Structure 1
Amino acid sequence: MTTLLVFLVIFSIIVVIHEFGHYFFAKRAGILVREFALGMGPKLFSKQGKDGTTYTVRLLPLGGYVRLAGLYEEDEIQAGMEVGLEINDNDQVSLINLSDNFSVVEMPVRVDNVDLIDEMIIEAVPVGQTDIVKYSVAKKANIIEADGTKLPVAPREMRYESASVWNKMITNFAGPMNNFILSIIAFTIVAFMIGIPNTDSVIGEVVDGSVAQEAGLVDGDRVTEVNGQSVSEWSDLVLLIQERPNEELQMTVERENETVDTVVNVQAVTDEQSGNEIGQIGIIADREFSFGSSITYGVTATWGIITGVLGVIGSMITSGFNINNFGGPVAMAQMTDQVVSLGLPVIVNFLAMLSANLGVFNLLPIPALDGGKIVLNAIEAIRGKPLSESKEGIITIIGVLIMVVLMVAVTWNDINRAFFQ
């Protein structure tokens, strides 16, 4: 239960932060954000803000989404539908009710023709009459959907297609950008919590009862030589120790401006990953907790994830597709189960890693992903006009099919690895 809760919290934070990027820059570009949803599935709660955006909480706690006016939206009102209309004092439609629950102030009509983008009109036959009446729709009118969610109408000037190419690109890039920012922040928090191991050969802590303590090593010693070999990097020191289980090491350290020589009997332990014997003496690297180093770590750790993912993608281009390079919800749940018992710093580190991975994945030039949308924006910039709605629709459908096939394949592969191997 704890693993499930942590998984849902991590996944929701990553997705909501991603969607907030789209939300924020869409608003700046003048694109109407019709809905900002927390969770998926049936609506539990909704409230429309003064900015026109409807904020909803939905049943399934799996991330969230934003609905940008004009972006992959289908027509909500069709000819033949029976809807309820509320008319304001200016004889304009202020509310269109698509649900089954009409209020006493709403007039039931059967829709004949509708244009809520350019003309802002509804042509309909009031129930009980035979003549078609043409109604003007206010630009700030609302639509009540079948599930009771109230959303604003979206005139042409407030829609995604009316924004400049640059604003479209920024809006689409903002989701992955927010994932990278979240990753930097999370890695920085980890650095503040547990510190950053120094790269030089300074001992931060000597483990009580260890062979290093028996040899007289103390916290703060800087190891300069091992068996006559000069040492300055912590990684080199660790390697020299691990390569010599059950051996004696002649070590020279600097301590308070003095040089101290000692002999350490290296202990042999079994490496959990390889199963081989390695050397260990019981010393821990010095750690740094400064603000500057923590921020630097946040940036470099995030960049390391980004370049690592791009490297894997590049290797698949040159060496062939490998489904094992991908992980879906099942793999994420397994990894969550492993990190939950290791404490908060590891959980936050896991969140940072996943956020950076999601950011890179969403920038892949696949239609329906943010990267695919950016490619379409670039094509629009080159052509001087966007692709036709029909062509863009076909491209989007292809992208969705690719994503569905990939998700099914990845999930099935995760299940096989988890339960059958």
Structure 2
Amino acid sequence: MNVVLGLYNGLIGTIVPFLFVLLVVVFFHELGHFLVARWCGVKVKAFSIGFGPELFGFNDSKGTRWRLAAIPLGGYVKFVDDLNPASAPTGETPVQLAPEDEAGRFQTKSIGRRAAIVAAGPIANFLLAIAIFTVFFMAYGKMVFPPEVGAVMPDSAAAEAGFQPGDQIVSIDGSKIRIFEDIQRVVSTSANETLTFGIERNGRSITLQAAPQWQELDDGFGNKMRIGLLGIKPVEDSAQLERFDLFSAVGEATFRCYDIMSRSLGYIANVVRGIEKPDQLGGPIRVAQISGEVATLGFAALVNLAAVLSVSIGLINLFPIPLLDGGHLMFYALEALRGRPLSERAQGLGFQIGLAIVLAMMLFATWNDIARGINIG
């Protein structure tokens, strides 16, 4: 009985936070498409959170069916002339519309309006993340350490390069360093790459070169991650609380989003180059596990995770893969260059390839989850 209750509580503690995070991110993504579509005069037939059978729904005054579906792994906005939720060509006869709905067709809008509607989803994800991070920075501020070396770890890249306690790190590869976090951000994604550090030591400027070393760390929840480490620590008890007004909080939040995207793209680039292993890629099971773990830290931590995931979802959707928003934008760019759209056959083939790529990515990410031995109970 205790085992059953433990499993039940474990599943609830994982699934509920996962659904909260995912539904918030998906809702704002689709809301971006929806609002810009309405603004551009496109009639929206359905706004769905999830796929499959409808669990709950209602019609608004403009005829849009708002629905919550049984499979909550995504969502879609379906326009009045769409033959499927992905707005992909199918070779079927175009939808016959009532005369009053003709002006609301998506496919007859200008390239600019179609592109704006498609891009609005990822942009909404970025704006959601910026809004959340802004509130956090204004409410809690941010603990920062000065970029001073407090300790050098033995047998580390820093020790080999000649770093000493008291060194002030003022630049890395010519980029200015303001706080210790700036050092960590650069070093963590630069394993085995030689970096040039500008140092202030005893009133004089010197230059040191070091290549951060790969190291596998525990994230605090028993999960492993590989990052680059230099082997230095900040000065103990030197942390200061940095406060933000609205303007500076928005700037810091925007940079936080940029940093998440930069790290993600850097990791993918390193995987392609063979520098990184692709085992850090995770799927829905991984997201569910992380959501449950973060939920134990409190609601604020879970909302922060939603912001991070929102950036990731927005970025992924901009990849130029047919079926994703980025694939649609790629087709519109080609249409603008050619002066006419690609043939329906070419677009259909592109969407089939895109579907295969997306499914392969999902299967690979899920396999990674299983290979890690993730236990969501």
Aligned counterpart, 1:8? 19
Summarize deviations over 1:59-102 as a string: whole Å, max 9, x none.
3444432112334539xxxxxxxxxxxxxxxxxxxxxxxxxxxx
In the TM superposition, residue 234 of structure 1 has moved relative to its aligned partner by 5.8
Summarize deviations over 1:219-244 as a string: whole Å, max 9, x none.
xxxxxxx98877997639x99xxxxx
Summarize deviations over 1:90-137 as a string: whole Å, max 9, x none.
xxxxxxxxxxxxxxxxxxxxxxxx9753xx6xxxxxxxxxxxxxxxxx
Distance 1:160 1:50 in 2: 20
User: Which stretch shows the higher mean deviation, 386-395 or 9-18?
Assistant: 386-395
Q: Which amino acid aligns with 1:194?
A: Y
Summarize deviations over 1:150-206 as a string: whole Å, max 9, x none.
xxxx54x4222101011111111111111111111111122133212345589xxxx
Distance 1:407 1:336 in 2: 18
Distance 2:257 2:109 in 1: 31
Match 2:180 to one of 232, 235, 244: 235
Q: How has the CA–CA distance of structure 1 residues 201 and 370 changed in structure 2, closer, same or farther, with 3 Å as cutoff?
A: closer
Q: Determine which structure has more spread, i.e. the larger CA radius of gyration.
A: 1
Match 2:351 to one of 396, 407, 414: 396
In the TM superposition, residue 302 of structure 1 has moved relative to its aligned partner by 0.6
In the TM superposition, residue 360 of structure 1 has moved relative to its aligned partner by 0.8
The question of 1:297 aligning with 2:243 is answered no
User: Which stretch shows the higher mean deviation, 52-61 or 361-370?
Assistant: 52-61
Give the structure with the larger helix fraction: 2
Distance 1:413 1:306 in 2: 21
**RMSD of aligned alpha carbons:** 3.4
Q: Which amino acid aligns with 2:99?
A: K
Match 2:61 to one of 50, 59, 73: 50
Match 1:170 to one of 108, 111, 116: 116
Q: Which amino acid aligns with 2:130?
A: I
In the TM superposition, residue 358 of structure 1 has moved relative to its aligned partner by 0.9
Number of positions where the alignment pairs a residue of Structure 1 with one of Structure 2 = 292
The question of 1:355 aligning with 2:315 is answered no
Q: How has the CA–CA distance of structure 1 residues 193 and 398 changed in structure 2, closer, same or farther, with 3 Å as cutoff?
A: same
Distance 1:362 1:24 in 2: 18
Q: How has the CA–CA distance of structure 1 residues 196 and 359 changed in structure 2, closer, same or farther, with 3 Å as cutoff?
A: same
Match 1:309 to one of 255, 261, 264: 264
What is the TM-score of this pair, normalised by structure 1? 0.61
> 1:312–1:325: 8 Å Cα contact kept in structure 2?
no
Runs of 5+ unmatched residues, structure 2: 1-11, 86-92, 149-163, 171-177, 185-216, 220-228
In the TM superposition, residue 361 of structure 1 has moved relative to its aligned partner by 0.7
Q: Which amino acid aligns with 1:235?
A: F
> 1:16–1:65: 8 Å Cα contact kept in structure 2?
no
Match 1:181 to one of 114, 121, 127: 127
Aligned counterpart, 1:70? 81
Q: How has the CA–CA distance of structure 1 residues 321 and 179 changed in structure 2, closer, same or farther, with 3 Å as cutoff?
A: same
SS class of match (1:162): coil
Match 2:30 to one of 12, 15, 19: 19
The question of 1:330 aligning with 2:275 is answered no
Runs of 5+ unmatched residues, structure 1: 75-113, 121-137, 141-153, 203-225, 240-270
SS class of match (2:67): strand
In the TM superposition, residue 4 of structure 1 has moved relative to its aligned partner by 1.6
Q: Which amino acid aligns with 2:59?
A: Q
Distance 2:165 2:275 in 1: 46
Q: Which amino acid aligns with 2:356?
A: L
Describe how 1:264-303 pairs up with structure 2 within 5 A: 281-282=236-237, 284-303=239-258
User: Which stretch shows the higher mean deviation, 327-336 or 50-59?
Assistant: 50-59
Distance 1:279 1:389 in 2: 59
Distance 1:416 1:235 in 2: 35
Q: Which amino acid aligns with 1:307?
A: S
How many percent identity over aligned positions? 30
Distance 2:349 2:59 in 1: 33
Distance 2:31 2:109 in 1: 18
Q: Which amino acid aligns with 2:180?
A: S
Distance 1:361 1:115 in 2: 30
Q: Which amino acid aligns with 1:346?
A: A
| Higher RCO structure (Cα 8 Å, ≥6 apart) | 2
Q: How has the CA–CA distance of structure 1 residues 377 and 325 changed in structure 2, closer, same or farther, with 3 Å as cutoff?
A: farther
Give the structure with the larger strand fraction: 1
User: Which stretch shows the higher mean deviation, 351-360 or 325-334?
Assistant: 325-334
Aligned counterpart, 1:370? 325
